[in-house]
Amino acid sequence: MKQKTVQKAPANYVGRILFGNFSDAIKERVQSIIVASENMEQCGYPLMPYLAAWNEGENIIWYEYTGKRFIELLGCTSINVSRVFREAILDRRVYRYTDPAGYDVEEEILTRQQLSGKRIDLREEVKKTGQVEAVYQVGLPGGRVIWLKDQGRIETFPQDKISLSLGCLTDVTKEMEQKDLLEKIGYFDELTGLPQRKIMERILEVKIGERERGHIKDFSFLMIDIDFFKSVNDIHGHLAGDFILEELASVMLATKRKEDDVGRYGGEEFYGICQGAVKSGKDFAERLRLKIADHHFNYQGEKISITISIGVAAAGELASLNMTDLLELADKRLYKAKQQGRNRVVGE
């Protein structure tokens, strides 16, 4: 029977398998992946293909192939890319859904030091799942920090006691920097998922600037408060109160138009921002009020009725437009709505 022959290794090959005492099956697979990866790079895709390998039970990983862009990024050679990359990693992050609907995401972070003691366990884990998906924070020469997303697939060769990880690295620095920024400034309210007050302030700054430059004619601000919210907590408990806040946020998001903004101001107070003079603001506020009043808040089989009061103020109503005066005017009108019996909108 004619013995299969493996193609000659590439001139720049620095791996172990093609020159080692391994099966033809794994050698052919490695060769085919290298050829495919080289073709991918020649097409100019914004990806950094790689082929990594490791022996079962060993702590050392090596690369059978690494893309040119990856090597240039690390400022190293193919020979020492494994060591340089390992030493450049600042942390590794994995994201997992924690609920069946896919809304809640858990972030698991392992520092470089933690990684060093868990490499074998992590490789066993990816072997079971058959895939790799993680984000690495990497320190480059000169102090620059980037983020690389790693997505790959695991193939095992029991005869050789070797596992292969074939995948691609993608630069996701902009996305991760934006994520970190949003977390630092408290963009999302943890309970409702709505933008918080700091983002409201930024939106208002932009709106005020646009109006002063004549880019928009007017805009309105809504101060929204849940009526008798304390009694909900007192009668039904704080978990019921949290449910109401979450559900109310969902209703408002479903009611607003694409160009409108809603968020959580603090406690049981929310805010809204929309284009147009005070009439437009009142129309938006009335839509929200009616939706909330008609909505069935069912907590553990118990129906809870909720209403909201809203004060509306438009930028064009102020002789000298500034954020503080706009918020104070909306707050005064919210107080007036409360005095007049609640479950109503007051503007002007």
* Active site members: 268
Residue 56 DSSP label: T
| Residue 72 CB contacts under 8 Å (≥ 6 apart), including other chains | none
φ, ψ dihedrals at 15, nearest 5°: -80, -165
CA distance linking residue 92 with residue 124, whole number of Å: 16
Instruction: Measure CA 331 to chain center.
Output: 33
Report whether 157 contacts 26 (CB < 8 A). yes
CA distance linking residue 176 with residue 184, whole number of Å: 12
Residue 317 DSSP label: G
Tokens coding 140: 């480059």
Report whether 197 contacts 248 (CB < 8 A). no
| Residue 81 CB contacts under 8 Å (≥ 6 apart), including other chains | 63, 66, 70, 71, 74
Instruction: Measure CA 204 to chain center.
Output: 24
